[in-house]
Amino acid sequence: MGVINFIMKKKKLNLRDINPNSEKKHSHDDGHNHNSSSNNLKVYIPGIISFTMLMIGIALDYFNATIFKDWLRLGWYIVAYLPVGHPVVKEGWKSIKRGDVFTEFFLMSIATIGAFVIGEYPEGVAVMLFYAVGELFQNAAVNKAKGNIKALLDVRPKEANVFRNGEIVRVSPETVAIAEKIQIRVGEKIPLDGILISKKASLNTAALTGESKPDTISKGANVFAGSINLESVIEVEVTKEFKDSSIARILDLVQHATARKSKTELFIRQFARIYTPIVVFLAIGVTLLPYFFVDDYVFRDWLYRALIFLVISCPCALVISIPLGYFGGLGAASKNGILFKGASFLDVMSKINTLVMDKTGTVTKGVFKIKAIKSFDLAEKEMMSYLLAMEAQSTHPIAQTILQYDSEIKYQAENVSEIAGKGLKGTVNGKTVLVGNKALLIANNIEVPIETDAVVDSIVMIAVENKFIGYVILADELKEDAKETITALHKVGIKNIIMLSGDKDSITQQIASELGIEKAIGGLLPEDKLNEVEALKQNPNYKVAFIGDGINDAPVLAASDVGIAMGGLGSDVAIETADVIIQTDQPSKVVKAIKISRSTRKIVWQNIALAFGVKVIVLILGAGGLATMWEAVFADVGVALLAILNAVRLQRMTWS
C-alpha cells in the first residue's frame, strides 16, 4: 500500500487495529508473531526480484550482449518491472475509478510506463523499484513511531484477581465492580484504579508517568491501573470501572491525539491536493508547448523531460514526513510522561512566551503541616473539635492536613456550605461555625485580631457564633524541582512567568521570591485568575500557557492558549479540560514539553524546506533537460527518506 493511501486511511491512529483485545487473538499469540515475521520477510521479495533482474539487464546492456535485443530485452525489463510496478498500477487504477485521479500511484504509473514507451526500460524499472523501496522504509518508520503507543497497549492489564465468595477468582478487569477487592502479586500489573488497603506498596509507574524510579506508597493512597507491583502481594479496593481507569483514559487520549492536526499539517495536505494536478498540467505543457517555440523539437526528448517532472511532483516527502514528525513528537512526549491532546497543541506550545502558574500543588507539594495552633476563650482541644468537624466535610489539601490532628472527630457538622475562595460555613453542636480565611470572617462582620496580619504562612481562622476563637498556622513546602524549573524556563526563553494563587498574598510573594518569579498575585478567587489570564491574552504578542492542578483551575486551563494540568493522572477534570497533561507532580516536565514541541516544529519545517528546495531545483533542471530520471528519483524517494530519517530523530532525542 502506498504512503499517501496509508496516511489517508490511517490518519486517525486506530488503537483497535494494533491492540490484541479479543480472546481469540490472545490464544494465537505465538502463531501470530511467527506469521508476522514471515510477512515482514515476504514484503521484500518483490523488490529483491526486481533489483536482481534490473542488475542483470543493466550488465547485459553494458556488455552489449548480442542476444539481449529487441523483444527479449523489452520482455526482460517488463518482468523486472511487474513485481514492484503491478501493485502501484493496480492502486492507481482503483483511485481513478473512485474519482481520485491525481494520486502518487497514477503519477508513478504514467511516468514509468512512459519511460518504457520511449525505450528507457532500465530507468522505468529503477524509478518504480526505488519508489517501492522508499515505501518499505516509510512504513518501517511509521511502525517505529507507533512504538510508544504499542508500549502503552502492552501495559493494559488483561486479568484481575478478585475476592468473591471467600476465594480469589481470576477474571477479566471489565467484569470487576466498584468496591470489590483485588489482589496483585509481585510482578503483576494493577488492573484497575483503586485505594491501597495493604500497609504499603512499591510500584513501577513508568508506563503512566515516564518515571523509572519506584514509587512507595502507604495504606489509603490511590493506585492506578497499569502500575506494576514490585515487592510483596498487595490488596486494592477498586474505585473505578475498567473503562474509566487511568490507563484506559490515557489510551483513549493518545488514540484521538493524532486526529487533531496542526495548522502546518492541514496546510500541507491542502497544498498537496492543489500542487500535484498543477505539476501534471505543467508536465503536459513541457511536452507540447516547445513544439511552437523550438526549431529542432523532438517529441521523445520533451516527453522524457515531462516524465521527470511527473516523478518529481509526487509529494511523498511532505505528506509522510510532516505527520510522522508530529506523531514522533507526540510519542516522545508520552514516553516522558507528557500527554498532548493533539499535534495542534505541539504547535502552540512551541510558540509559548508567557507562563502563568498556580502555586499550591504546582510548585509546592500541597502537603501542609500544622505549624502552630492559637485559641482564644476556648480550650485548644475544644476549638479543634469544631474545626475538625467542619474540615471533615472538605477535600481540600489543607483540610486533610488538619484532620491528621486527631483521628477521632467529636462533633458532626451540619448544613455545611463552601464559600468559593474563602472557606466553609456550617453548624456544629448547634452553633454557627465559620472556618477559612480573613475575608470570610470580615464578610460576616467578625473582628479579626491584628496579630494575624503578621503571619506569612497559610492560616485557617475559626469563628463560633460570630466570635473569633482562634487560628491554625500551616506550612507548605516547595517541590524538589521547583526552583530548577524556573531557571530552566528562563533558559529556554520564557521570560514572562507569573504566579497566581488563591493563597494569601504574603505567602504567594514569599514563594515567588524564593523561586525567582518576578510577578505574583495572591488572594485570588478562581474568577480572578481567569480575568488575569484573559487580560494577558488581550496582548497579541503573548502566547499564554497556564499550569494548574486540573481541579479548581479548570476555567483558566480552558481559557489559556495551552492549558497544562499538573499531576493529572488521577484527575477527571484534568483529562477533560487541559490540552497538555503532566502525568507526574514534577513542574520540570513542563520544560521538557516545551523542548519537545520546539524540536518537533523545527524538524517539520526542516523537512518542508528540504522537500521544496530539492524539488524546485530538480524541476527546473528537468524542464531544461539537465536532469535524468535518476535525479528525479532522488528528488522524490531520496528526499522522502531523508525527511523520514530526520523525523525519526525525535524518537531518539533526550531532553535533560
- List the one residue out of 256, 282, 312 whose CA is nearest residue 618: 312
Give the span between the Cα atoms of 569 and 565, in whole angstroms. Answer: 9
Q: Degrees (nearest 5) of the Cα angle 251, 256, 262?
A: 135
Which segments of 572-629 are extended strands (E)?
580-582
Q: Is-contact 584 567, C-beta < 8 A?
A: yes
- List the one residue out of 360, 390, 421, 428 whose CA is nearest residue 587: 360
Per-residue buried b or exposed e for 196-208, using 16+ beta carbons within 10 Å of the residue's own CB: bebeebebbbbbb
Q: Strand 215-218 to strand 222-223: parallel, antiparallel, or no bridges (unpaired)?
A: unpaired
Q: Is-contact 416 428, C-beta < 8 A?
A: no
Give the span between the Cα atoms of 68 and 63, in whole angstroms. Answer: 10
**Catalytic amino acids?**
358
Give the span between the Cα atoms of 544 and 547, in whole angstroms. Answer: 10
Cell numbers found for residue 383: 476549638
CA-only gyration radius of the chain, Å:
33
Crossing angle, helix 246-257 and helix 147-154, to 10 degrees? 160
- List the one residue out of 347, 357, 252, 327 whose CA is nearest residue 602: 347
C-alpha 525: how far from chain center: 31
Q: Is-contact 269 319, C-beta < 8 A?
A: yes
CA 451, 453, 458, 462 torsion-angle sign: positive
Element (H, E) at 614: helix 588-623
Cell numbers found for residue 472: 491554625
Q: Is-contact 362 549, C-beta < 8 A?
A: yes
- List the one residue out of 228, 254, 226, 259 whose CA is nearest residue 240: 226
Give the span between the Cα atoms of 79 and 129, in whole angstroms. Answer: 12
- List the one residue out of 366, 413, 369, 364 whose CA is nearest residue 387: 413
Q: Which residues face 360 on adjacent strands?
A: 364
Q: Is-contact 532 465, C-beta < 8 A?
A: no
- List the one residue out of 372, 374, 365, 410 whose CA is nearest residue 391: 410
List CB contacts of 284: < 8 A, sequence separation 6 or more. 306
C-alpha 239: how far from chain center: 26
Give the span between the Cα atoms of 361 and 482, in whole angstroms. Answer: 11
Which segments of 128-233 are extended strands (E)?
160-164, 167-171, 181-184, 194-196, 200-204, 215-218, 222-223, 228-229
Q: Is 559 exposed, middle or buried (0-12, 13-18, 19+ CB in 10 A)?
A: middle
Whole-Å CA distances, 55 to 51, 52, 86, 106, 122: 6, 5, 19, 26, 9
Q: Is 518 helix (H, G, I), strand (E, B) or coil?
A: coil
Q: Looking at residue 452, what DSSP letter applies?
A: G
